Structure 1
């Protein structure tokens, strides 16, 4: 016991040290780009997104922004040309394009004209919709997203929020109706630092910050070149409103109507011209190094570190209580039971049992008098009465030793599910490890999804291996069929769901929609790479390695399971057991959900905390499953195979319930398609989580059952 507690204490100390190390270790990018004075810096436009909807749109495809001119910049890039994207960038809705904005290192521009774009009434309504829904734009300079700067509550530190507002909304002082203003002027502030090493000695600079400040400037009071008279004193904004003078004929007379309501129904040929300008300022920042330039995007997360520590303390307390419970089960209860059996004796691997006085076998209670089961129980009782030794009564988990390794119903489905869970576990551990060591970082745009897809495909070999071995352990013979089910079941669910959702997103012309070519590429990855890997793993696991052997053979005739308590029944047991792992992670879920659904432009980057909480979660799932299976076996219920899988993944039900709560209490998502995307993606995420934790629970329960019944057999 003392050694076990010392090991547990050492594990917690190691995990806490990992938090410090993972926070300190950071790989900011793949290479440092330095610029000489006067060198062209390309600016890329990406997409617009909003907290009130799940639909994103490519910035360059908006009907009210300046279309690309197609001219070359100093680096030979043509404005309007698309930038090659990796798989992760495509799946997250990025659509990066070279812009017409001209920036030269160290050269300030107080105001510069970009274009005047004429839009019709449909374009104006589109612009109003974008402004009304609070869309923000993402521009990219030197791989940094353009950001709006803020200060912390105590005003001691500055931090960034990626993106800038496309416009603003207010109420008309006369009519009380909403008015919409488009931000047609941006002030770009580029913060730089002296380049390290030889480039710095040559006078080159590196970019350490990119800030965008947007404002709305009216179209009137401009000079011949389209520039406003005074960029610093703006009295009126660029309102998204068509001219109100609408001409119609009444009784042969020409009548001019200035009613706003009339203008909404007439004069569809009217247009609105929006002039676009920008300013550029370069400012040196001596306090910020290039290697730390992403820190400003994470200051807000660092401010909440106390809450993260609270989540870890909460998880550690729950895990310690579970560890104590498992220690009692192993060290006192089970060891005492096995010791009693060792003293009373075992004959040919079967426990010699003396029935209690007045106690009848479950089979006898359920069978009709004079039946076959009655005769078998009578013969069994006769064998017991012939034994002159005094043997203690046997109850609980010991009674089901002859049925505990009986193959479960629908084992041909359970084996592929466990195989898919191992595939997801390999992928998740790989992503978490790479993130903690800084390989997957915000400067590697789309890297998390791209690497995750690669790990998932490669892990197909693990999926096939574990699925085939479990399938053969259950007595299956058609391993090729099991291989196909393993390769197609879960990936097929993901693909079909994504494809159906994509149809809705396509109809909205959103950049969130996955292009058809990308869908074809995903199918090729699935069928041409993953499926052969699953086949190879299945062949090796089924043919070369074979099944796991059980310490006790199953009886020919199964026992009847007695009436179960409410907490040992399937659904109730899963809900009760799943609540404990959910309690371990629900605080950290707040930050994950906020990053995913509210701060779409933000980056979740406290992977050190996430790694610790994930480790404690795995321990909690393992310990909860052991306790639940032990209670079930003590109730003489030997159908633990599926139950252990459901108990391990039971917290996924609570996570999905929390998603529903989060949607109605924290989000302001509008529209049917956005609601559908939220709940569909939440369901898929909870399915992934449930498969992963369910697999952990299943394998833990299998090891536990083999251990305790193997100990009885050995004694």
Structure 2
């Protein structure tokens, strides 16, 4: 405790307000709604162990548990899954493992199988690709405790256990494959002293590869000499691993141990959520965010002072009737609100950005208050899909209202493009990726029934809501421009190299990306390295910082553009902050080559396909924020000066 208390005094003072705010949000998240009601167990009650998909961070292709010849129950029953679970590739099924509450088991034989050439090859391929087996008990995922001396806490948890391992044995140089055929389960429980009932608060396993031996012919009553519960001989004492090869006999066994825990049921997910080094996560990101916030505040202060001086100067010249030539941003007042080229496309993108902004904002609010906790598998993805569908009404309203500002009359065409363009692009990419997954016979492939559900949500709900919003948007009166637009467009003077459109757009995306790139690392880690992401309160703060940064950097560059007498700000304002998506995709490429171990072509295509979708959505989101910031800014400054 002594070193930690000393380190507190070394934190920068700028982090203190942020730490107070973050601690309040973090405390609020502790009271999450866990997705299922707590279940009380008495001694001897049956515990339902379920199996989930096989996962690998090398291939990113999930497979069902029974795609390998594991022991099967008499009848395989699929659990009911929500839309998000299906899209995640979860396939939850019953298992032959039989537990009874508070009744330990030692060396329980599950089944005996003999491998042929085909099944042996399947096991070897899954071991090569580093596949893990995932199980669930009372809605808790199975974890493997791993002791590490180089970090605090010294015990970390790995989701699921590896199917097997590959290595040398008994001094041979040839690498062989060994299967984990014995599982030592540990079920942790918290006892309620008043009701004498227990609740499950932990589900751990230690896998072993054991070459079991027995005497005589095999039967259901055969006793293992390597693992005999009557003589209390633990299987871990055997030091001969079980090799995977054709015509090899595999006997699957398991132990069950129960440990009483002080952890209460409401806090049982803390073990899973604190798998990462939170010290690095929290304090490094807080410092980065405070720096970004400080820079944004300085930029805003400079802009306000500069604008105040400009507006005061212009108005003073008018009152004194000094016939001086207009300069700077006031000079282009007759062209600044001239509709841009491809105005229809801009309206569609702005409407789509509003839809995406609404979805992200509401999703984060739900997540902060705990409605989308990790215990509710698939809840986050399901919520995002449904919110996207219902936010279509705001997309239609925003796109057609802006279109009406441009004096457009064909609002139905704009509504149709808003309803179909962005979702169609995403759906085509998603369909191609799903075809690749289906070609690999992975459980991650979306079934046709789920695909039909997605199409129904799109055509049956989202499209009609877009048209409802569009109709309302056309009926609402538009704001009048603060200045009149000249009939003949003004010629734009030659711009300096640093005011070039491409240069300004690329520069404008750096700061918004800088506000999120550290948090982006943890998000990518949770998605592609099979870890939980839970700090939604902190993510919400990062999102607010992103909004502020996008708005301010766009306003600054828009102001410089108008001062250089370039009035074509519509598209540039959208692209300035939207270019942060380019840096996001470049960072995804960097992350792929430095953090991931993907070697298969299909897996690489899946990664870049999904990251392309994420970058495209990020472009639409940040671009819309920058556009509306610049839209409000130009209306504000041109309505504040006297123009004849």
TM (normalized to structure 2)? 0.92
**Any conservation in 1 of the 2:551–2:626 contact (CA below 8 Å)?**
yes
Q: Residue 658 of structure 1 aligns to a residue in which SS?
A: helix
Paired position in structure 1 for 2:422: 490
Whole-angstrom CA distance in 1 between matches of 2:33 and 2:643: 52
Q: What's 2:104 paired with? A: 108
Counterparts of residues 680-695 of structure 1 (less than 5 Å):
680-695=609-624
Task: Give the Cα separation in 2 of the matches to 1:669 and 1:447.
Answer: 28
In 2, the alpha carbon distance for the partners of 1:183 and 1:22 equals 41
1:663 corresponds to which residue? 592
| Residues 389 and 597 of structure 1: CA distance in aligned 2, closer, same or farther (over 3 Å) | same
Within 5 Å, which residues of 2 pair with 1:537-552? 537-542=469-474, 544-552=475-483
With over 3 angstroms needed to count, the CA separation of the structure-2 counterparts of 1:656 and 1:22, relative to structure 1, is: farther
CA distance 1:162–1:468, shift in 2 (3 Å): same
TM alignment of 1:107-186, pairs within 5 A: 107-151=103-147, 153=150, 158-171=155-168, 176-186=173-183
Contact 2:550–2:626 (CA under 8 A) maintained in structure 1: yes
Give the drift of 1:343: 2.3
Give the structure 1 partner of residue 453 of structure 2. Answer: 521
User: Is contact 1:22–1:607 with CA below 8 Å preserved after alignment?
Assistant: no
- In structure 1, how many angstroms separate the alpha carbons of the residues matched to 2:326 and 2:225? 93
Match of 2:363 in 1: 431
Offset of residue 608 of structure 1 = 2.1
Deviates more, 1:169-178 or 1:311-320: 169-178
**2:293 maps to which of 319, 327, 344:** 319
2:26–2:535 Cα contact (<8 Å) kept: no
1:430-579 aligned within 5 A: 430-542=362-474, 544-579=475-510
TM-aligned CA deviation for residue 88 of structure 1: 0.4
Instruction: Report if the CA contact (8 A) 1:18-1:608 is conserved.
Output: no
- 1:183 deviates by 0.7
- 5+ residue gaps, structure 1: 1-7, 71-79, 243-270, 347-387
Moved more, 224-233 or 487-496: 224-233
Q: Within 5 A, what are the aligned runs for 1:366-405?
A: 390-405=322-337
Structure 2 residue 164 is matched with structure 1 residue 188: no
Say which SS state the counterpart of residue 559 (structure 1) adopts.
coil
Which residue, 41, 48, 61 being the options, matches 1:55? 61
User: Could you tell me which of 614, 622, 637 is aligned with 2:551?
Assistant: 622
Q: 2:154 & 2:171 partners in 1: Cα distance?
A: 41
**Partner Cα distance (2:637, 2:112) in 1:** 78
Q: 1:31 to 1:714 in 2, by over 3 A?
A: farther
Match among 566, 571, 587 for residue 642 of structure 1: 571
CA positional deviation for 1:156: 5.2
Query: Is the deviation greater in 580-589 or in 318-327?
Result: 318-327
Q: Give the conservation status (yes or no) of the 8 Å contact 1:45–1:138.
A: yes
**How far apart are the structure 2 equivalents of 1:566 and 1:684?**
33
Bigger CA radius of gyration:
1
In structure 2, the residue matched to 1:352 is: none
Q: How far has the Cα of 1:12 moved from its partner?
A: 6.4
The C-alpha deviation readout for 1:578-623, integer Å capped at 9, x for no partner, is 111111122212211211112x1x2111122212222111111111
The answer to whether structure 1 residue 211 and structure 2 residue 184 are counterparts is: no
* Aligned equivalent of 2:562: 633
Q: How far off its partner does 1:23 sit?
A: 4.5
* CA displacement, residues 441-461 of structure 1 (integer Å, 9 cap, x when unaligned): 111111000111111111111
Structure 1, 160-169 or 316-325: larger mean CA deviation:
316-325
How many residues are treated as equivalent by the alignment?
A: 619
Structural mapping, 1:59-78, within 5 Å? 59-62=65-68, 64-70=69-75
Residues 426 and 10 (structure 1), Cα distance of their counterparts in 2 relative to 1, 3 Å cut: farther
User: Residues 638 and 277 of structure 1: is their aligned pair in 2 closer, same or farther, counting only changes over 3 Å?
Assistant: same
Q: Aligned residue for 2:236?
A: 232
TM-score of the superposed pair, with normalisation by structure 1: 0.83
Task: Output the CA distance in 1 between the equivalents of 2:200 and 2:387.
Answer: 33
Displacement, 1:21? 4.1
The RMSD of aligned alpha carbons is 2.2
The question of whether the paired residues in 1 share the 8 Å contact of 2:426 and 2:613 is answered with yes
Mapping of 1:282-361 within 5 angstroms? 282-285=258-261, 287-301=262-276, 303-331=277-305, 333-345=306-318
CA contact (8 A) 2:111 2:252 kept: yes
**Residues 34-92 of structure 1: CA distance to partner in whole angstroms, max 9, x if unpaired?**
11111111110011111111111111222x2123322xxxxxxxxx1000100000000
**SS of equivalent residue, structure 2 residue 641:** helix
Shift in Å, 1:323: 2.2
> Secondary structure of 2:639's match?
helix
Structure 1 position 157, deviation (Å): 5.8
Check the 8 A contact 1:625/1:647 in 2, yes or no.
yes
Q: Is the 8 A contact 1:226 1:275 kept in 2?
A: no
**Alpha-carbon displacement from aligned partner over 1:92-128 (angstroms, at most 9, x marks no partner):** 0000001111011011110111111233212111110
> In structure 2, how many angstroms separate the alpha carbons of the residues matched to 1:596 and 1:514?
18
| Cα distance change on mapping 1:394 and 1:713 into 2, 3 Å | closer
Q: Distance in 2 between matches of 1:567 and 1:534?
A: 40
Contact 1:552/1:713 (8 A) holds in 2: no
Q: 232-241 vs 648-657, which deviates more?
A: 232-241
User: Counterpart of 1:581?
Assistant: 512
* In structure 1, distance between residues paired with 2:392 and 2:517: 30
Gaps of 5+ in 2: 1-13, 228-234
How many Å separate the matches in 2 of 1:214 and 1:14?
A: 42
1:339: Cα distance to partner?
A: 1.8
Contact 2:210 2:238 in 1 (8 A): yes
For residues 173 and 109 of structure 1, do their structure 2 counterparts lie closer, same or farther at Cα, with a shift above 3 Å needed?
Answer: closer
Deviation at 1:650, TM superposition (A): 1.4
C-alpha contact (below 8 Å) 2:144/2:161 kept by paired residues: yes
Deviations 1:276-306 (A, max 9, x none): 1111111111x211111011112233x3234
CA 1:10 to 1:430, structure 2 compared with 1: closer, same or farther past 3 Å? farther
After superposition, what is the alpha-carbon deviation per residue over 1:191-215, rounded to whole angstroms, capped at 9, x for unaligned?
A: 11114xxxx5332110000001111
